[in-house]
Structure 1
Amino acid sequence: MQIKNLMSEDLITVDKDQNLSDALKLLRKHNISRLPVTNHKELVGIISERDIANKLGSSKYEHMPASRLHISSVMVKDVLTVPETMQLDDVARLMLDNGIGSVPVMRDDEMVGIVSKADFVTLAVGIAFDKIAVKEIMTKDLVVVSPTERLVHARRLMLEANVGRLPVVDDGKIVGMITSKDLLRAFIDFRKKVPEKYQKSQIKDVFVGDIMSKNPQYVSKEMSISEVSKIMMETGFNGLPVMDEGKVIGIITQTDILRLIEKLES
């Protein structure tokens, strides 16, 4: 299958000279996690929720409101693109090898679509995926965080592990999830509520338990990939903790499913 048959043609873009507040509004309005960045309609970068959360949480920009930061200062400039005729498994491999969540699709020199991990997940429904259990492809090397740890510590863990979500575990039990979206929302709200001169000291008083999503949805290790993919499509969740006998034993993400699809397609 060529990637043009899977890509989304509904392109939502942002100009490099707009500010982060503009990008945040577009991300929320369209319920997406990344935006291609253009300059006079030419593709010049890509920006994601994770990029913005990392920038707003850094010490260099901790006092600066999103309205004063331009897209060009946050975006990833070296954007990987693919031609619309590239085969699906080759695109999946490119995304996995480079650790990227989406890739713009080109026809000659024009961007005509974008394909993301979420698009690939829509393929993981059917007989072949009914026969594969979560335990066969889930990520077992878990990075977790406690609800009593600071927001800045959770951000650092995500950066170091290059992940977009962390299960929140207390006394061996899962009590929540914290994602890049949660970090982003927390940093924005904090800037709005706390005067600039107090931000550096008070950011240390924001804890994971204050911003995490509680009562997280989870799956069992015996559930099929087809079932998990349907849950992801219905909820928009990028990853789900895997539970066994009341304990978190892993996490299954869109990346795990993308890796499976690449393997099966190739």
Structure 2
Amino acid sequence: MTSPAKQSKTKKNSVLDIASLNVISVPPTMRIIEGIQMMSRHNFRRLPITDPGTKKLIGIVTITDVIDMMGGGSRYNLIANKHKGNLLAALNESLREIATESVTGFSPATTIKEAASILLETGHGGFPILNPDTTLAGIVTEYDLMRMLAGKESDLVVDEIMTACPKKVAPDLPLSHVTKQIVDDGYRRLPVVKDGILLGMITATDIMGYLGKGRVFSEMQTGTVDEVLSLPVRDIMTAADIRTVSTDMPINAVAKEMLNRGIGAFPVMDGGRLSGIVTEFDLVKALTGTM
């Protein structure tokens, strides 16, 4: 396992200064449903898997891996082929079945600036920080960078950094359409729009929460994955109290609002219509120039 960042001779401005250090990790034998429940409970987007004896990192399960399993990509084979569509049986498999292994990480000597550059270059939401023996020292994410950068002064406004004319979905589309788009296009959330009106957002977190918070068990009748993937978006999306921002809102204010609410994106409205979406990634990219 190698670091994507060059080794630095100094620990000044180390990525450890902004990272989460008390990281929860789990053994590879944990069941998939238990891992999803833990991620939902703690609002994690990634869950490190470590060897119980050596504590060395084996792999990471991310929220995208969960969506991949739910029809988005190759991990769907676990349900469709191995378990013949039986979702409940697949969820009892070990977490390692859907994990990303051979994970690349930062070293503790990686600087904050180096980490920010690599996060932006790769588009990944976070990286583990690994000691020389590959034990876990911490995790650094876009959120950690934004928390550090939120107080930086910038003259930019939302309209200058947002993703304009974002892809959106209709409320009656099946969930399978969303899981596929999230994996294929790299989205973590999609606005839900009907007749030009913003109704809500469907996010990877919403889908994971449907499993992790137990709704799937109380609502399923057949136990098959097709039953879940045929659910309309409106049944799972976040609709109540959707916070939106305007195109002329300063990005510093948006970053602080995002941190206060603990969410990763806001729809952008202009004249009552959806104009774009602004995400953690957009804000970190813009504010990194102030470092």
Give yes or no for TM over 0.5.
yes
Matched, 1:47 2:61: yes
Counterpart residue number, 2:262 = 236
Instruction: For 1:237 and 1:264, locate their aligned partners in 2 and report how far apart those are by CA, in whole Å.
Output: 23
Query: Within 1, Cα distance between the matches of 2:102 and 2:218?
Result: 32
Identity %: 27
- How far 1:108 sits from its partner (Å)? 2.3
Per the alignment, residue 106 of structure 1 pairs with 130
CA distance in 2, matches of 1:127, 1:257: 11
- Give the TM-score normalised by the residue count of structure 1: 0.90
1:217 CA displacement:
0.9
The answer on 1:169 being equivalent to 2:193 is: yes
SS in 1 for 2:144: helix
1:142 is aligned with what amino acid? P
Tell me the CA shift for residue 169 of structure 1.
0.7
Mind listing any 5+ residue stretches in structure 2 that lack a counterpart? 1-12, 80-84
Pick from 179, 194, 219: which aligns with 1:193?
219
RMSD of aligned alpha carbons: 2.0
Aligned equivalent of 1:258? 284
Shift of 1:59: 6.0
Do residues 2 (structure 1) and 14 (structure 2) align? yes
Change (3 A) 1:39 1:217: same
| Mapped partners of 1:47, 1:172: distance in 2 | 36
Alpha-carbon distance in structure 2 between the residues aligned to 1:80 and 1:135: 34
138-147 or 119-128, larger mean C-alpha shift: 119-128
- Letter of the 1:30 partner, please give it: H
Between the aligned partners of 2:38 and 2:157, the Cα distance in structure 1 is: 36
Query: Per the alignment, in what secondary structure is the counterpart of residue 242 of structure 1?
Result: strand
CA–CA distance in structure 1, aligned partners of residues 172 and 144 of structure 2? 36
- Note if contact 1:124-1:225 (Cα within 8 Å) is conserved in structure 2: no
Shift of 1:257: 1.7
* Letter aligned with residue 45 of structure 1: G
Q: Which residue of 2 aligns with 1:26?
A: 38
| Gap runs ≥5 in structure 1 | none
Distance 1:257 1:80 in 2: 24
Offset of 1:161 from its aligned partner?
1.5
- Give the total of aligned pairs: 263
Given that 1:50 and 1:181 are in contact with CA atoms closer than 8 Å, whether structure 2 keeps it comes out as no
TM-score by length of 2: 0.83
Cα pair distance change 1:240/1:23, threshold 3 Å: same
Amino acid in the other structure paired with 1:249: S
TM superposition outliers: structure 1 runs of 4+ over 6 Å: none
Equivalent pair of 2:32/2:93 in contact (CA under 8 Å):
yes
How far residue 95 of structure 1 moved from its aligned partner, in angstroms, is 1.8
